[in-house]
Structure 1
Amino acid sequence: MDGKRIIFLADMQSFYASVEKAANPALRDKPIVVAGDPERRSGVVLAACPLAKAYGVTTAEVLWKAQQKCRDLVVVRPRMETYLRMSVQITRIFEAFTDLVEPYSIDEQFLDVTGSLSLFGDPWTLAEQIRRRVWLETGIVCRVGIGENKVLAKMACDNFAKKQEQGIFWLKQEELPETLWPLPIEKLFGVGSRMKRHFHRIGIYRIGQLAAASPELVSRRWGVNGEVLWRTARGLDDSPVSPRTHDLQKGIGHHMTLPRDYHTSADIKVVLLELCEEVCRRSRSKQLMGMVASVGCRGADFERSTGFWRQMKLPEPTNDAMTLYRAVCRLFERHWQHTPVRSVGVHLGQLTPDDNCQLSLFEDKTRQRSLGRTMDSIRAKYGNDAILRAVSLLPAGQARERAAKIGGHYK
């Protein structure tokens, strides 16, 4: 292949919905969606099968709107544990073709197959083999984008392979002027609605216009992000496919969307404490502690940006929930403008190993650490709701309900 790398981006079509159809053949010819809370009709569509999309149903729209578009819509409650197991099974299939597999999300994975072509044939043949094996073993349709680097493979899949019946597209560097560059600027990987508006203001409407722009112009205007987008438009990306890319963790955070607006400081602090407990539990499980505490929130109107995200440096690294909670509360009280809160998050950054601890004359830190690890072991053995703080029993508490969920969705 002239010394070039060959990278695949494999995407599972309507992943959650496809898993449900594979598990229940009676759903095969029906329009289905997987939605957050079918019983309340207030959930959000997490995945829609192609039959549902034909009615105009889209991912991330509220469930009642989807049901208005399609009266025969079948709504399935999400089963996150099942989807995670299926994602791992698909990873194992990919690893039969190459040892360089990098999960990008639960339903997308990068594969560097450069060294596998001598065993399995040209890229098209190999992509077809992978698609066939995924279908035979899981019943899920896999689309494959091919490129000489990760951004080309990603854009090949998103912009072309997903729209073609064969489900495979090879986006070649030398063919970008005919394939990628005529597309609208929002089709460029990394460009969201806000960046699209920025580009439109300076007269950039198509990917080719950005590729032809001066790199100094975009760097001066948008810094490193501008340069990255310019390189992406030209199909340039040096990042390797690394199976261990997610092992180096820069921070540990937890975010929660609340079931209703929270108006009072007392209610919000209940959730903040629960978030601090989870962040510190995960930090201890990785034997890490953090030096920077962050907290943020936003309101229910996601069309109009509200809320804030702020951080502060701690006097010393910690993975103790109450220490983090006190810092987070100070930050929150300083920046919250007493507007309704619908989602809130806590983050612990600047991580270091927790094998060293600064002793104090005024606190028994050895006891704190021992208490935290004891609580962790109880939860690991008997479940996350086996031991709770008393405030979690208040109406504002979410810990008991979320103990039955993965990523905010039921297992």
Structure 2
Amino acid sequence: MDYSKMPNRSVACIDMMSFYASCMAAIHNLDVRAVPIAVVGNFKQPGSIVLAASPPMKKRFGVRSAVTRLYDIPSHPDIRLFEPKMAYFLEMSMSITRILHKYVPAEAIHVYSVDESFIDLTGTEKLWGDPAETVREIQKEIFETLSLPSTAGMGPNMLMSKLALDLEAKKQGFAKWRFEDVEKKLWPVSPLSEMWGIGGRTEKSLNAMGIYSVGDLAHTSLDILEKKFGVMGNQLYHHAWGIDLSRVDTPVPVGQVSYGKSQILMRDYNSIAEVKAVMLEMCEDVAKRARDASKTGRTITLGIQYSKNALGGGFQRSRTINEATNETMAIYAVCKELLSENYDARPVRQVSISITKLENEQSVQLSLFEKDNWREREIGKVMDRIRNKYGSTAVLRAISLTDAGTAIKRSALVGGHKG
């Protein structure tokens, strides 16, 4: 690979260490690197998920974010448990961004998530000196100002900076990767899902082709990868060589490929009527997001996760319909069919719904045999305008007023958790 023709910039990816746990540690004057801390969604729900765990909590007690539940956390005098303060977390995130603005202009910052950002320091050498030292200075200021420890990766592009962060910096605080490091540091990576951008399903497909490491991927024919994965095959090949042409100021636009919602219920739902109630609320939310974007979907997917008290498990099933839709009741009708065909009457603890195979709404033709289609669409859009103006609970379906409904309770949350 001729790297001399590739952009070689000074890009950093800065990530806060156990962000939610670090924020709570800052409030209570604790050291997140020394104290076992867990942030739990809701103390009143024993099955509430752990949103964040400090490094000692992970190492000493095996508590993992998004996996461990409140009832799994051992009773120990050293452990500190906190409920989330989402509004505070968002304010801390904005404070981090304000610090970044001191070093680079707004167009050189890409906020990747609430606790992670890319910054392009190319051309700042005359102001701040060596970019690597500047990143360390930024980390120092964030810690001294906000009491938030961080890790950072640097590279010649966004991909390499992220890989340096995930694969090396999270162990030692800072790492810088160059193109010449690809063969030694990137190619040995296995399993493939350890690499940013490769999920479990793609990993299985690649394994079936005899590709088990990033080095294997780099030495697979580009034609073979494109034939198997299309455009994504081209991206996989070049990423395996550390090549990424996207820029922080003009990140590659990724089109929305689905609209979905997943919800861990606050209690076990023991009847099909209760499950249908929350399903309808979620269909309403998914359909509204699609309508707001003037999109419709042809494939509808329902996922059900059973309660741990019922030995867990569940199912995920999809159905493709003849005409793409963004109508709440049309999506709900398909979900009811999938539920009826697959539900085995065990208590439900998680529901997920999504629509994929998206099309532009304008491309959908109304059926001549369904005269009320246009009316249903107009009613949906009117309800959307009211909710957009006055809030998500301005117009509710009656089902939301029952014990099974969650829309009213969730409307008071920030990011799905207490503000």
Query: In the alignment, which residue of structure 2 is the partner of 1:17?
Result: 21
Name 2:11's counterpart in structure 1. Answer: 7
Instruction: Say which SS state the counterpart of residue 306 (structure 2) adopts.
Output: coil
Q: Name the aligned partner's letter for residue 163 of structure 1.
A: K
User: Which residue, out of 361, 372, 375, partners 1:363?
Assistant: 372
Any unmatched runs of 5+ in structure 2? none
Aligned residue pair count:
405
Amino acid paired to 2:333:
R
Distance 1:326 1:199, change over 3 A: closer
Matched, 1:232 2:239: yes
What residue number does 2:294 align with?
Answer: 288
Q: Give the counterpart letter for 1:47 in structure 2.
A: A
Please report how far the alpha carbon of residue 220 of structure 1 lies from its aligned counterpart in structure 2 after TM superposition.
Answer: 6.6
Answering whether residue 69 of structure 2 is matched by residue 51 of structure 1, we say no
Once the two structures are superposed, the pairs formed by residues 5-404 of structure 1 within 5 Å of their partners are: 5-25=9-29, 30-56=35-61, 57-64=63-70, 67-68=73-74, 70-96=76-102, 97-98=104-105, 99-164=107-172, 167-186=173-192, 187-191=194-198, 206-215=213-222, 228-242=235-249, 249-262=256-269, 264-284=271-291, 286=292, 288-292=294-298, 294-300=300-306, 306-313=314-321, 315=323, 317-318=325-326, 320-330=327-337, 332-333=339-340, 336-338=342-344, 340=346, 341-349=348-356, 350-352=358-360, 362-363=371-372, 365=374, 369=378, 372-374=381-383, 376-377=385-386, 380-381=389-390, 383-404=391-412
TM-score normalised to the size of structure 2? 0.79
Contact kept? 2:383, 2:395, Cα under 8 Å: no
Offset, 1:178:
3.0
How far apart are 1:77 and its partner, in Å?
Answer: 0.7
**Secondary structure of the structure 1 residue equivalent to 2:89:** helix
Q: Which secondary structure does the structure 2 equivalent of 1:25 belong to?
A: coil
Percent identity, aligned pairs only, is: 28
Letter matched to residue 12 of structure 2: F
CA 1:95–1:122: 2 relative to 1, 3 Å: same
Please tell me whether the aligned partners of residues 151 and 235 of structure 1 are also in contact (alpha carbons under 8 angstroms). yes
Task: Find the aligned partners of 2:383 and 2:214 in 1 and give their Cα distance.
Answer: 54
Query: Does the CA-based 8 Å contact 2:301-2:335 persist in structure 1?
Result: yes
Aligned-residue Cα RMSD (Å) equals: 3.9
1:93–1:134 Cα contact (<8 Å) kept: yes
Separation in structure 1 between the aligned mates of residue 410 and residue 303 of structure 2, nearest angstrom: 19
Q: 1:181 to 1:281 in 2, by over 3 A?
A: closer
Letter of the structure 2 residue corresponding to residue 132 of structure 1: K
The 8 Å contact of residues 306 and 313 in structure 2, kept in 1 or not, is answered as no
Identify if the C-alpha distance between structure 1 residues 27 and 369 changes in structure 2 by more than 3 Å, giving closer, same or farther: farther
Alpha-carbon distance, 1:7 to partner = 1.9
Change (3 A) 1:243 1:87: farther
> Which amino acid in the other structure matches residue 301 of structure 2?
V
Q: What amino acid maps onto 1:12 in structure 2?
A: M
Contact 2:268–2:307 under 8 Å retained in 1: no
1:203-234 per-residue CA deviation (whole Å, 9 max, x = no partner) reads: 76654444445556666776765654443332
Q: Equivalents in 2 of 1:234, 1:193: separation in Å?
A: 20
Offset at residue 74 of structure 1 (A): 0.8
Measure, in 1, the Cα distance between the counterparts of 2:12 and 2:36: 30
User: In the TM superposition, what is the alpha-carbon distance from 1:174 to its structure 2 partner?
Assistant: 0.6
23-32 vs 72-81, which deviates more? 23-32
Distance 1:161 1:19 in 2: 21
Q: Which runs of 5+ in 1 are unaligned?
A: none
Q: CA deviation at 1:34?
A: 0.7
Distance 1:106 1:81 in 2: 12
- Residues 304 and 33 of structure 1: is their aligned pair in 2 closer, same or farther, counting only changes over 3 Å? closer
TM-score by length of 1: 0.80
